[in-house]
Structure 1
Amino acid sequence: MRFNILGSLEGWANGHRVRLGGPIQERVLTVLLLEANRVVPVYRLIEAAWEDEPPVTAVQQIRKAVAEIRRRVPGGPGFLLTEGAGYLVVVADEDLDLQVFLRETKRAADAAAAGRLPEAVAGLRTALALWRGSMMSGAGGPVVAAASAALDEHRLAATEQLFEFRLALGEDNELVGDLREAVGAHPLRERLRGRLMLALYRSGRQAEALAEYGRIRDRLADELGIDPGTELSRLHEGILRADPELAAPPRTAPVPASRAPELPVPAPASTAPRSSAAELCAPCTLPYDLTDFTGRERELGRLLGLARREGGAGERIRIVGIDGMGGSGKTTLAVHAAHRLSEAFPDGRLYVDLRGFTPGERPLQPDSVAGLLLKALGGPDTRVPDDEEARFALWRSAVANRRLLLILDNAADTAQLRPLLSAMPHGFVVVTGRVRLVDLDGVQWISLSSMAPDESSALLAKTLGEERLAAEPKAAAALAELCGHLPLALRIATAKLRNRPLWTLQYLTGRLRDESRLLKELSSSERSVATSVQLSYQALDPDHQRAFRMLGLHPGSDVDSHTAAALIGTSAPEAEESLEALLDAHLLRQQALGRYTFHDLVRSFARGLWQAGTAPESAALLDRLLDYYIAATDGACGVLFPGWVGYAVPPVAPPAELPPLGDDSQAARWFDEELPALRAAVALGHERGHHRQAAYLARNTMFHLHQRGDVKGLRETGELSVAAARDAQDLHTLRLNLINLSTVHSAAGDFRKTAELCEEGLRIVRSQEDRRGEGSFLDQLGWAHGCLGDLHEGRRYLQQAVETQQAVQDHHREAFALSNLSSLHAWLGATADAVAAARQAALLQQRIGAHQPQTAALNDLAVAHLAAGDPASARPVLDEALRVGEKSSMPRNLALTHALMADLCQREGRGERAPALAARALDLVAPLGARAWQCQIENIAGLVHRRRGEHRHALDLHQSAFRHASGIEFRIEIARALDGMAQALHALGDYVASAEQRRLADEHFDAMSVPEDFRRRS
């Protein structure tokens, strides 16, 4: 039995064709034969048979299809086997055309490598003769189509190799027909087109060879917006010069196939001869205009407006400059505008690439540019003067009475332009460059940055088609983002997608998300984002190149001059000079005054400059950055957090200067601006082995995260801080970060994890006889036990914490412990003790002068007064909390103040204010993601709405509080929520459910020994 799948599916037995069944059987058998002698899972066969919408009975129908194939194929049970959850077909290599194709191409490659080209040609002919068309004649569905596309690439590669070998054996004219057929089927395959050009040239048909180059150049431009690649361009130039190296080799001289004939690099053109001004004409040498030009409407409108204003009587030349980073579309914009302006400049529209940033080439000198322009204006080469002065004189004469539109593209500096522009009395000139030429007078500049998201979307729609974008809108947005909304990157990406129809947008974005391969993916032929950025980088002076490389190691999204100075190792003014130079070169952007940021693709390039061999240097730079950030956060914490205690970390390289951090506003603003970079620096420091610095920087950063109420950020940074401290084997740093992380878990409501961390911390500080640290861990441990419902044990730990902090006179931490102790006193009904503890905490925090802890302590004092049934005493306390809280940005404290004020207003008979206050409290706490805080606010808000008779709303709030509290085992808030639900249900008339909730609430209160008067207050 023999099978053929390279075309329509065929099965032959003893010279007779076997009918294999209907479409389902054919698809199943084709997939099995593609994986011959390997198990194919049933789900894969289902995908092949029904694509995206298999029937419910798909598994049963696959079994039926397998049974039908076994029945139709001679020896079917031994041919198609069941293996586990799949099937496999057993077929010898010589009995499947695919295996024969793969075997013959492998033999041909081996023969070519050994220098036996005739044998390789014979093998490839044998292999290619097996193909009868596309697999299953294109009716196999997506699974078969994907496999077919991969095999088609293999077939094309074999076809190209066959032509290479035959050309190497001296064949030429007899190849033309076959090559034309192959090119017709694959018009965008540059290598096939090159073989056709070479065969035509060797057959004495030079004009036809050159015409083929023109055809593919136009087609690539129209369909992909790209130019032919380097190899094809060199072949074209070689044919133009009749390069002897392109001659056919003798037919008897085989060339190893592993080394396909290389195309020669053309020699430079000869010196331009002379011309005269009288013989000049008015041509157009503009490059082609993109038919799918998209976006840049504002810049285009301004450019056209400036051009059309020019031309009044006696008006001088008008010059517009377009600057921007490589790949931003400067040339495309200039050329598109020039085509729109054709009728306004009938004397000529000229274009010259000044090669200021062209790989492997030096910028053109002004006299060479003048010669090119004179030739473009129509003078015979023999009459262009060799003498520089004579050439410029002829240029002045040629343009004296002409209104030309001139594009001077890719300018490196002003010296390239001045001699040309000074000779032009009239006309319109567009200069493009990666650097704004600030010393070029009389220029109006247009800067290009990334495209707007809607412009990127429009470009993708034009190049890929609306249908393809509509099918994957999220992937399209992600693709634009990964391309940095840069036109060059977007066009390269869409060209790849058009050349690879089986690639989805989601698949390409997945490839681009890997930063190590991002720039490699965004390259096509001679167009590459990496090359574009590299040219701008190479144009910098050495000091600014060094600054660029070092900034590439910064892990954040933006930098200021002080951070840059720490990395580069200079003063802040010197660093700012480098930043401004990189800004001028469009290698940095400035989105806020004093803050500089990389374009995402430029950042990838900068990071790619650091190779494995530079590890010691990068480690030293990271040391400098971490030392700077530690010193700066020390300064900011000392200003913002009274009572904060620093910890000496011996710096590797102390920073020369720090940013201004003299008052609260300066320190807070600096912390806000640098927070993403600080967190990224912690992660990078830990990853690169700078564990002690990373751990201490994390500790400082967590103070600001806590102030912002960023529970998620606190948890992530806190976990890193403890991991780094463990790796550093520094017990002091570890205990600092353990207490911080335990606080984070407490805020998040993970009280068991809090207790676990505190137990570890207590072991460390007791082994070091660190009483101050012991008090901190006892405080957190007591609070965790209290929240988990062990009120008496929690109060015991908290009393020990207060005594310990008093003994070491750490009033800051004593105040925190007193606040927590006040809550447990209140829960146990000891309201007088609760008021006393909270009042002492508030006095201590007021003496220290920290706004955040002072607000928290005042809230606790208000809670104690309300628990004691003394709303009159709570009023001035909450008024003061609101006043102090206005200076604070900690949402959790403000939320509780507003909730308690809502409760108080109702007790005082001013209930009309309560709903707005409760709503404000809920709005403040909801985004924080801290269930321990949220359930507390929800229970108070539920109480407020119950008093207003809004029992359905109250029930919803208590139910939400119950869910949040139950998820973290916050026992007192669980009980409060159950009690609130019972009262709301009773008011709504659901007495059975109310009784059940009341029973559950009492069970929780009883287990915690909470007295009746506290329960009634809830």
Structure 2
Amino acid sequence: MLAVLLLHVNRPVQRESLIEAVWGDPAPAYAVNQLQKYVSALRRILEPGRAARSPSEVLGWSEGGYVLRVGPGGLDLAAFERLVGRGRKALAQGDAQQAGAELHEALSLFSGPALGNVSSAVLDAERDRLAELRTAVLEERIQADLDLGRHGRLVAELRRLVAEFPLRERFAALLMLALYRAGRQGDALNVYHQVRRGLRDDLGVDPGTEVEELHRRILAASPSLSWQGPPPGAEADGSAADGQEPAVPDGTRGVHQLPMDISEFVGREQELRELRELVEAPGTGGAEAGERGVLVAVVEGMAGVGKTRFAVRAAHEFIAQDRFADVQLWADLKGFTPERAPVDPANVLEDFLRLLGVPGDRIPGGVEARAALYRDRLARRRALVVLDDAADEEQVRHLLPGSASCLLLITSRRVLSGLDGAHTIRLDVFSPQEAVELIDRVADRTHDETGSPAAMRVAELSGRLPIAVALAGRRLRTRPAWSMDELADRLETDEKRLAQLTVGRRAVEATFDLSYQWLSPAQQRAFTLLAAHPGPDCTADSAAALLGTGRGEAEDLLESLLDEHLLQQHVAGRYRYHDLLRLYARDRAADAGSLEQRTAAVRQLVRWYCAGAETARLSLEPWWHRGPAGDGALGNGVLSEEHPEVPHLADDADSALKWLEEERANLLAVSREAAQHEWRGCTWRLATAAHAFLGLRSYGTDCMEGLRLGLTAARGADGRARRARTLADIGMVCDSLGRHEEAARRHHAALAVFEETGDRHGAATAHYGLGCAAFGLGRYAESAERHHRALALFEETGDRRGQALVLGNLGLVNWFIHGRYRESEEQHRRALTLSEECGDRRVQAYEFAGLGLAHWFFGNYAECARQHRRALALFEETGDRRGQAIALNGLGLADWHLGRLVRAGEYHQQALTVFREVCDRRGEAVALQCVGYANWATGRYDVGEKRLHETLAVCAQTGNRSTEAWSLASLGHMCLRLQRNDEGQEHLEKALSLSRSLGDRHPEASALVGLALVSLNQGQLSSCEEGARQALALSQSIGNPHNETWAMITLGLACCFGDRPEQGADWHRRAAETGQRTGDLFTESMAVNGIGYACTRLGRYEEAERHLRAALTTRQHIGDRHGEAETLTDLAALMHATGRPDAASAYRELAQAGFAEIGVTGTQDHRVVSSSSAPRRASQGCRWDRGGM
């Protein structure tokens, strides 16, 4: 109401108008009374001292309406309209100074949107009118500022307004004019294109006459657009007014030397922000300087990275923000210009002093005197000095201003570390997104090609180096018939890439030439020769081997090239080229030296890596022996038996692992290089030496490539033994990757050679590999036979480590054959002893894990966890990631039974992640099955079922039939819990058939329990009992208490449903005792719940409630949500039987909510005992599944 009265100040407003404004139409019946209350309240607020019932002097009644009386100057809207009127009049009379002052003051009255906190149809219309008026006044005020020559300081404000009002063309026109007058013609034209594109995209129209005409005049550089200077007494940017002291001496007026900004500038937001923060700190850019010295920022980076463009953009941003507005000086120091020396700083100082108004005859002759006068002329001035392409610190030292109000911005290809107090901004190549944006902007292609995968290819092939990216875009623009894909294809060829990145006289290669020509001969040799290194990076050690120098000299050369930004250091102590610089260096190498010299250098590097890999493997595996250094057939006369020393590689496993990990990519690249040169001896030795590490870290793909190169190198009659060893190594890698059939073929081929040559140790290795492959294929009898043959041969040759490996595998094989679980445990113990004797910590870790699995099977879950923790510690110590995954999975199995269901799931998930990372498909299948079962146990059936189906898919791909049997059994039990009885039966029957064909009795027992539950759900109690007794007998025969407990619980259920609750209670008690003995909280709580249910059927209600509440507590504690809902159902039945209907109803609702939460629907309360105590048939909705792993 107050807002409406203020809009009609000193004029009567009818009651009906106020009611419509406040409540709208139709108004409520109480509107008139409420309006009177509002008036009274307003009068009390506006006139707090007015006596009661006395007439109001401020809000009165006149001519049938309320009048709000406000004196002159009391209403901001009236003041605004008055100031706007005076400003418009002054503008029409050409008095920009007066117009600007009036309009600035008018706009200052706004603190936000008019009528910002009230709303109605009347007020909304008035708000829109005032907003439009305010915007129009803003346009007029900016026009006045432009007439006063304040174009520099208007750019930032206008950019914001154009973004805020994208369809208001007047703001765009004003921005274009401000940019043009600031010397930024390119940016002005870019604004036009952005506006034009936006209008077309949004509205399908072109800009209006004003913008189009201004665009035409900017293109033509119309003199009429230039600022003509302020009228007498007016104030422009940086000039004086009203007799004030000038900001700079007369001679400096107009010293604005910055080059034109460019519209193609993209990215660099972080670096620009870094520079802005530096400048905006107290004491810079005209702020109070305090004790701080001159601000110096050095922009450094490799050739073509965009240092000059960055400096230009940063400088124009500062000017647009009215920083350093007094003086802007620019000098190209030509530090890397071909065929001419860098500019003498004395000459630069002479030019600067002339620009600063010093007559030529008053400029001193000496550089020191010139520098002193230069600092004096810039003292206390807001000056920006840009020194582009500096050669070194000495060239710029005399060009530093002396005042903290100045900014010195230097660009250089070198590291200028000798400038005290300078802040360094290092420019790197573009991000992928920035590079693609620049290509799109320069190439000016259709929307179909912008941001396309082809554009990303061009960006990457250009190394994301700004000059190369821009030239690639211009190449496209000058070749309209080319597609982005065609240019990318042309850039794919290394030999032609630099030639393609050329447009007219501009070329990436020429840019690099400027840096290369200033290198010393030693630097040029190092720069070109290092490009012969086949790997992605090098160290001082490997560079010394390649260059034929000492380590210290090599490091000095590397660091000097790093200072020249011709090399990069992505990790401390490691150096690499930018992709384009590597190509350039190779081109220069072809021009500079002979092929024989480069080949000799690379050969020495290959020797160095060969020695390093062998030394590292001996540190990892002291029992490993190198082969001969290289005879004529293998070495091709290239390698001698002497290898260079490998510096900085300590004789311990940790140092070896670190070196091998850091050099992994280089080792493979060097192997390829050796193979290409047919240095067969070293190719084979590299493959053999690196094999152990690559296998340890599960780098299967790299390991396979290296070994295949070694296999090709080991040809010829005298290379058969090495070929056989390589075949055996390849077979083991295939097995780790789940390619068991291929692994068997490789081992068979190796075995044939070993037997022919009488190599009994090699034959043992091949039999061992064949046993591993057969195990992976589920052929356990064959696997056992092969392992026994390998064991005999290892014993004959005295290889205790080989014996330990075989015994450990036999422990696993016997696990899956006819339930030889005790024999399996004993073999793991023997393997552990042997591995301790020979000092192989990795084999020890695997045997700890094997013993942990045995303890899990026999129900010693705490000991299972302990052994897997020991295994995990050793696996982490030796860097065996696959082993870590095995140990994590074992910890998950132990925790599952110990009632830590959530943590068990986390362990299994971690194991799954690692197995996938190391490409172990067999391990992936096992972990997937465990993840599925862990989700099954906690009631997350949707996730559990998905993971089990994923397990079956992996098993089908890898032939892992044992895990397939386990997964089918788990999936069957899950289906029973979800009341999909027929589907569950199908999965369980498949599991039973498969496990029997494999001789794997553990999943066989689980499948038997599940099928017994199927019979229970179908009401076939005798069939249920028969199946459960089979499962019990089988579990007892193999000594597995877990499935034994499940079988007893199932028998207990069958007895309860068969009207034998006393026997049912006995079976559940036996099951509970077994669960308690083994620490298996999951099955123990299930059995305790069964006791409670049986006691309810027997009428022993107090005992029943005690057991049911104990089961509920445990199930809630361990996170068994399905079990919790079952126990709540049984408590509801107990409450019903004992005449507590309210409690029964409450428990039933909780149970139903619990089942619904985990996705189990349609459950029936089959536990409610009738008054006649007649047993309920299982066919009446029995949803019990007590089966498990």
Aligned partner of 2:263 in structure 1 is 291
Q: 1:359 aligns with which of 320, 327, 338?
A: 338
Whole-angstrom CA distance in 1 between matches of 2:556 and 2:186: 46
Q: How far apart are 1:775 and its partner, in Å?
A: 1.0
Whole-angstrom CA distance in 1 between matches of 2:692 and 2:462: 36
User: What TM-score, normalized to structure 2?
Assistant: 0.56
Aligned partner of 2:572 in structure 1 is 593
- Contact map agreement 2:286 2:405 (CA 8 A) in 1: no
Aligned partner of 1:568 in structure 2 is 547
Matched, 1:631 2:611: yes
Q: 2:767 aligns with which of 778, 781, 795?
A: 778
Q: Are residues 977 and 336 of structure 1, via their aligned partners in 2, closer, same or farther at CA, if it must alter by over 3 Å? A: closer
Q: Are residues 364 and 697 of structure 1, via their aligned partners in 2, closer, same or farther at CA, if it must alter by over 3 Å? A: same
Q: 1:856 aligns with which of 831, 835, 846?
A: 846
Greater RCO, 1 or 2 (C-alpha within 8 Å, sep 6+): 1
Q: How far apart are 1:778 and its partner, in Å?
A: 0.7
Aligned partner of 1:711 in structure 2 is 700
Matched, 1:616 2:596: yes
- Contact map agreement 1:469 1:476 (CA 8 A) in 2: no
Q: How far apart are 1:575 and its partner, in Å?
A: 1.7
Aligned partner of 1:674 in structure 2 is 663
- The secondary structure found in structure 1 opposite 2:569 is strand
Q: How far apart are 1:754 and its partner, in Å?
A: 0.7
Q: How far apart are 1:807 and its partner, in Å?
A: 1.4
Aligned partner of 1:157 in structure 2 is none
Give runs of aligned pairs for residues 813-962 of structure 1, distance below 5 A. Answer: 813-829=802-818, 830-866=820-856, 874=864, 876-907=866-897, 913-942=903-932, 954-962=944-952
Give runs of aligned pairs for residues 6-85 of structure 1, distance below 5 A. Answer: none
Q: What's the CA shift string for 1:245-302, capped at 9, x where partnerless? A: xxxxxxxxxxxxxxxxxxxxxxxxxxxxxxxx99999655443222343334135425
Counterpart residue identity of residue 263, structure 2: T
Whole-angstrom CA distance in 2 between matches of 1:949 and 1:315: 67
- Contact map agreement 2:436 2:451 (CA 8 A) in 1: no
Whole-angstrom CA distance in 2 between matches of 1:860 and 1:752: 25
Q: How far apart are 1:756 and its partner, in Å?
A: 0.8
Whole-angstrom CA distance in 1 between matches of 2:925 and 2:420: 66
- Contact map agreement 1:751 1:784 (CA 8 A) in 2: yes
- Contact map agreement 1:326 1:532 (CA 8 A) in 2: yes
Q: Are residues 328 and 781 of structure 1, via their aligned partners in 2, closer, same or farther at CA, if it must alter by over 3 Å? A: same
Q: How far apart are 1:994 and its partner, in Å?
A: 4.3
Counterpart residue identity of residue 715, structure 1: M
Q: Are residues 446 and 869 of structure 1, via their aligned partners in 2, closer, same or farther at CA, if it must alter by over 3 Å? A: closer
Q: What's the CA shift string for 1:865-910, capped at 9, x where partnerless? A: 5556766764553343244344344333233323333334455666
- Contact map agreement 1:320 1:430 (CA 8 A) in 2: yes
- Contact map agreement 2:293 2:404 (CA 8 A) in 1: yes
Q: 1:433 aligns with which of 398, 412, 434?
A: 412
Whole-angstrom CA distance in 2 between matches of 1:278 and 1:836: 100
Q: How far apart are 1:488 and its partner, in Å?
A: 1.7
Aligned partner of 1:263 in structure 2 is none
- Contact map agreement 2:787 2:810 (CA 8 A) in 1: yes
Q: What's the CA shift string for 1:361-406, capped at 9, x where partnerless? A: 343445655666677679999x899xx9479878876885356754
Counterpart residue identity of residue 377, structure 2: N
Whole-angstrom CA distance in 1 between matches of 2:661 and 2:335: 41
- The secondary structure found in structure 2 opposite 1:410 is strand
- Contact map agreement 2:186 2:263 (CA 8 A) in 1: no
Q: Are residues 718 and 1015 of structure 1, via their aligned partners in 2, closer, same or farther at CA, if it must alter by over 3 Å? A: farther
Q: Are residues 424 and 735 of structure 1, via their aligned partners in 2, closer, same or farther at CA, if it must alter by over 3 Å? A: same
Whole-angstrom CA distance in 1 between matches of 2:848 and 2:463: 49
Whole-angstrom CA distance in 2 between matches of 1:907 and 1:985: 21
Q: Are residues 1002 and 937 of structure 1, via their aligned partners in 2, closer, same or farther at CA, if it must alter by over 3 Å? A: same
- Contact map agreement 1:692 1:730 (CA 8 A) in 2: no
- The secondary structure found in structure 1 opposite 2:663 is helix
Counterpart residue identity of residue 795, structure 2: Q
Whole-angstrom CA distance in 1 between matches of 2:826 and 2:501: 68
Aligned partner of 1:547 in structure 2 is 526
Q: 1:751 aligns with which of 740, 744, 748?
A: 740
- The secondary structure found in structure 1 opposite 2:923 is helix
Aligned partner of 1:155 in structure 2 is none
- Contact map agreement 2:302 2:564 (CA 8 A) in 1: yes
Matched, 1:324 2:314: no
Higher alpha-carbon deviation: 325-334 or 480-489: 480-489
Whole-angstrom CA distance in 1 between matches of 2:397 and 2:941: 82
Counterpart residue identity of residue 298, structure 1: R
Q: Are residues 429 and 894 of structure 1, via their aligned partners in 2, closer, same or farther at CA, if it must alter by over 3 Å? A: closer
Whole-angstrom CA distance in 2 between matches of 1:747 and 1:876: 26
Q: Are residues 555 and 278 of structure 1, via their aligned partners in 2, closer, same or farther at CA, if it must alter by over 3 Å? A: same
Q: How far apart are 1:964 and its partner, in Å?
A: 1.2
- The secondary structure found in structure 2 opposite 1:352 is strand
- The secondary structure found in structure 1 opposite 2:526 is helix
Q: Are residues 903 and 1012 of structure 1, via their aligned partners in 2, closer, same or farther at CA, if it must alter by over 3 Å? A: closer
Q: 1:645 aligns with which of 608, 625, 639?
A: 625
- Contact map agreement 1:834 1:864 (CA 8 A) in 2: yes
Q: How far apart are 1:506 and its partner, in Å?
A: 4.2
Q: Are residues 288 and 729 of structure 1, via their aligned partners in 2, closer, same or farther at CA, if it must alter by over 3 Å? A: farther
Q: What's the CA shift string for 1:687-726, capped at 9, x where partnerless? A: 3323332232223323222222333333343333333434
- The secondary structure found in structure 2 opposite 1:357 is coil
State how many pairs are aligned: 747
- Contact map agreement 2:538 2:576 (CA 8 A) in 1: yes
Aligned partner of 1:114 in structure 2 is none
- Contact map agreement 2:529 2:589 (CA 8 A) in 1: no
- The secondary structure found in structure 1 opposite 2:789 is helix
Q: What's the CA shift string for 1:181-224, capped at 9, x where partnerless? A: xxxxxxxxxxxxxxxxxxxxxxxxxxxxxxxxxxxx99999899
Q: What's the CA shift string for 1:591-633, capped at 9, x where partnerless? A: 3222223223222322333439743233222222222222222
What is the percent sequence identity of the aligned residues? 27
Whole-angstrom CA distance in 2 between matches of 1:856 and 1:708: 15
Whole-angstrom CA distance in 1 between matches of 2:250 and 2:926: 92
Aligned partner of 1:181 in structure 2 is none
Q: How far apart are 1:475 and its partner, in Å?
A: 4.2
Structure 1 residue runs of 5 or longer lacking an equivalent are: 1-216, 225-276
Q: How far apart are 1:859 and its partner, in Å?
A: 2.2
Give runs of aligned pairs for residues 274-673 of structure 1, distance below 5 A. Answer: 283-294=255-266, 295=268, 296-301=271-276, 304-305=279-280, 308=285, 319-340=296-317, 349-366=328-345, 369=348, 389=365, 401=377, 405-417=384-396, 429-440=408-419, 443-453=422-432, 455-456=434-435, 459-460=438-439, 463=442, 468=447, 471-611=450-590, 614-649=594-629, 652=640, 654-673=643-662
- The secondary structure found in structure 2 opposite 1:814 is helix
Structure 2 residue runs of 5 or longer lacking an equivalent are: 1-183, 192-248, 631-638, 1007-1042, 1044-1188
How large is the RMSD of aligned CA atoms in angstroms? Answer: 4.2
Aligned partner of 1:53 in structure 2 is none
Q: How far apart are 1:324 and its partner, in Å?
A: 1.9
Q: Which has the larger radius of gyration?
A: 2
- The secondary structure found in structure 1 opposite 2:678 is coil
Whole-angstrom CA distance in 2 between matches of 1:953 and 1:317: 64
User: What TM-score, normalized to structure 1?
Assistant: 0.65
Q: Are residues 869 and 440 of structure 1, via their aligned partners in 2, closer, same or farther at CA, if it must alter by over 3 Å? A: closer
Higher alpha-carbon deviation: 706-715 or 572-581: 706-715
